[in-house]
């Protein structure tokens, strides 16, 4: 009996070890494909959730896959803390067994990232001196020319995703201490601008934007994501 129990324990350990080896190989391949597609300097960390992995592979479906990219730059726009989660992932068993990921499909991909205000400011019009998260919303502070006269003020703006990127729109004006009040209508056109970040990796388009003390926290979503669209 003791010999049988020992054999069962040894087999269990071997199965777990084999399962972990298999999942690491596939995670590394997914990371390699992402790094190749987006010319990343380092391979992102990939976690295939759920245990055991091999039973998911046999079934051909997976719960979700987390991809932690970190910094990512596209069209001279750099974001931080980029994470991508693939949900309801499917892939043929034969491909997974051979560490191939080109036929992997995710029903939904959700990406989140932080766009620092230092990335936003270069797209702001002249006169803007700082952009920060204020008590009433996102504050744009600077000196703005009205009727040929430079007037310091803080403008509260909203941020929203559009087809062209992150749109910043003034909603109210706060005059500087002792300075004259500027009508919003005089600054609305001048201080409406767009940061041309339309999407994050795997074709995820921006769906929501939340100002934070460190920058704009953005969320983007893509549907029916095919890894066959990524280069080998």
The string of pLDDT tens digits covering residues 129-139 is 999 998 888 99
Cis peptide upstream of residue 177 (ω within 30 degrees of 0): no
Torsion-angle region of 122 (φ positive above 0: left; ψ -120 to 50: alpha; else: beta): alpha
As a whole number of angstroms, the distance between CA 80 and CA 197 comes to 13
Per the CB < 8 A criterion, the answer to whether 67 and 42 are in contact is no
* Alpha helix segments (H runs only) across 60-116: 93-97
Both tokens of 121, joined, read: 């400011």
Cis before 203 (ω within 30)? no
Q: With b meaning 16 or more CB within 10 Å and e meaning fewer, what string describes 187-222?
A: beebbebebebbbbbbbbebeebebeeebbebbbbb
CB 113 within 8 A of CB 104: no
- pLDDT tens series, the chain, 232 aa: 433 333 233 333 333 445 555 566 666 666 676 666 666 767 777 777 655 555 555 555 777 888 899 999 988 899 999 999 988 877 765 655 565 666 778 889 999 999 999 999 999 998 899 999 988 889 999 998 887 888 888 999 999 999 999 999 999 988 776 667 778 888 888 889 999 999 998 889 999 999 999 999 999 999 998 866 654 4
pTM exceeds 0.85, yes or no: no
Reduce the DSSP state of residue 28 to 3 states and report it.
helix
- Predicted local confidence at residue 190, as pLDDT: 84
CA separation for the pair 114, 80 (Å, rounded)? 5
Encode pLDDT of 83-106 as tens digits. 999 888 777 656 555 656 667 788
Provide the pLDDT for residue 37. Answer: 64
Greatest Cα-to-Cα distance within the chain, rounded to the nearest angstrom = 95
Cα torsion through 10, 15, 19, 21, rounded to 10: 50
* Token couple for 165: 């990127």
pLDDT at 148: 82
Q: What is the DSSP string of 202-227?
A: GGEEEEEEEEETTEEEEEEEEEEEEG
Q: How far is CA 107 from the centre of its chain?
A: 17
SS3 61: strand
């Amino acid at each position: 009996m003791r010999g049988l129990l020992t054999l069962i324990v040894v087999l269990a350990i071997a199965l777990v070890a084999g399962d972990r080896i298999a999942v690491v190989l596939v995670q590394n391949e997914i990371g390699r494909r992402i790094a190749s597609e987006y010319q990343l300097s380092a391979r992102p960390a990939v976690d295939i959730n759920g245990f055991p992995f091999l039973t998911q592979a046999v079934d051909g479906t997976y719960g979700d896959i987390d991809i932690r990219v970190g910094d990512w730059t596209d069209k001279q726009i750099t974001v931080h803390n980029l994470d991508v989660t693939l949900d309801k992932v499917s892939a043929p068993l034969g491909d997974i067994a051979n560490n191939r990921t080109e036929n992997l499909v995710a029903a939904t991909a959700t990406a989140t990232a932080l766009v620092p205000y230092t990335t936003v400011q270069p797209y702001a019009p002249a006169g803007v001196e700082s952009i920060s998260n204020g008590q009433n919303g996102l504050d744009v502070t600077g000196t703005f020319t009205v009727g040929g006269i430079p007037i310091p003020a803080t403008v509260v703006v909203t941020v929203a995703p559009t087809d062209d990127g992150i749109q910043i729109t003034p909603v109210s004006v706060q005059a500087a201490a002792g300075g004259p009040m500027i009508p919003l209508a005089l600054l609305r056109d001048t201080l409406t601008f767009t940061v041309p970040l339309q999407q994050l990796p795997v074709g995820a388009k921006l769906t929501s934007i939340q100002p934070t003390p460190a920058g704009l926290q953005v969320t983007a979503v893509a549907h029916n994501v095919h890894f066959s669209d990524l280069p080998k």
